[in-house]
Amino acid sequence: QVQLVESGGGEVQPGRSLRLSCAASGFTFSSHAIHWVRQAPGKGLEWVAVISYDGSDKYYADSVKGRFTISRDNSKNTVYLQMNSLRDEDTAVYYCAREGIMYYCDFWGQGTLVTVSS
């Protein structure tokens, strides 16, 4: 069955960096775009970034553009989110989600918590 497992979250000081991973299984990973969506504590869902199936196209929310970088390694069935210059407002659960063949996100991981705090 389709599985997405996020890892790499934790507590970090403002200005520091963190790299999240999203490991996929149960489907042909190299055929699907992958999104990152985050949710601050007690808040709604915020779209963060997307990478195309082959890594050639990447898009970011304005709130993270220039600080976050999305990448993928199709040989490892893994997508990464490199987060630099972290701010308090980046504190959230970060979910990765698979984009289905018809463009909507159909499967989500359980999420990994990132806490930015001094």
Partner 1 sequence: DIVMTQSPDSLAVSLGERATINCRSSQSVLYSSDNKNYLAWYQQKPGQPPKLLIYWASTRESGVPNRFSGSGSGTDFTLTISSLQAEDVAVYYCHQYYSTPRSFGQGTKLEIK
Instruction: Give me the residues that bind partner 1 (CB under 8 A), please.
Output: 35, 37, 44-47, 50, 59-62, 95, 102-111
Residue 14 or 40 having the CB closest to partner 1: 40
Closest among 82, 84, 107, 83 to 96, alpha carbons compared = 107
Query: How far apart are the C-alpha atoms of 75 and 97, rounded to whole Å?
Result: 19
CB within 8 Å of 57: residues ≥ 6 apart = 50, 51
* 91, two tokens: 């504190």
For the bound state, the minimum distance from the C-beta of residue 18 to partner 1, rounded and expressed in Å, comes to: 20
For the bound state, the minimum distance from the C-beta of residue 73 to partner 1, rounded and expressed in Å, comes to: 22
The residue count for the chain? 118
Please return the burial class of 4, using the count of CB atoms within 10 Å of its CB with bins 0-12, 13-18 and 19+: buried
Residue 13 or 41 having the CB closest to partner 1: 41
Residue 3 or 118 having the CB closest to partner 1: 3
Residue 77 or 107 having the CB closest to partner 1: 107
For the bound state, the minimum distance from the C-beta of residue 59 to partner 1, rounded and expressed in Å, comes to: 5
For the bound state, the minimum distance from the C-beta of residue 47 to partner 1, rounded and expressed in Å, comes to: 4
Distance of CA 115 to the CA centre of its chain: 15
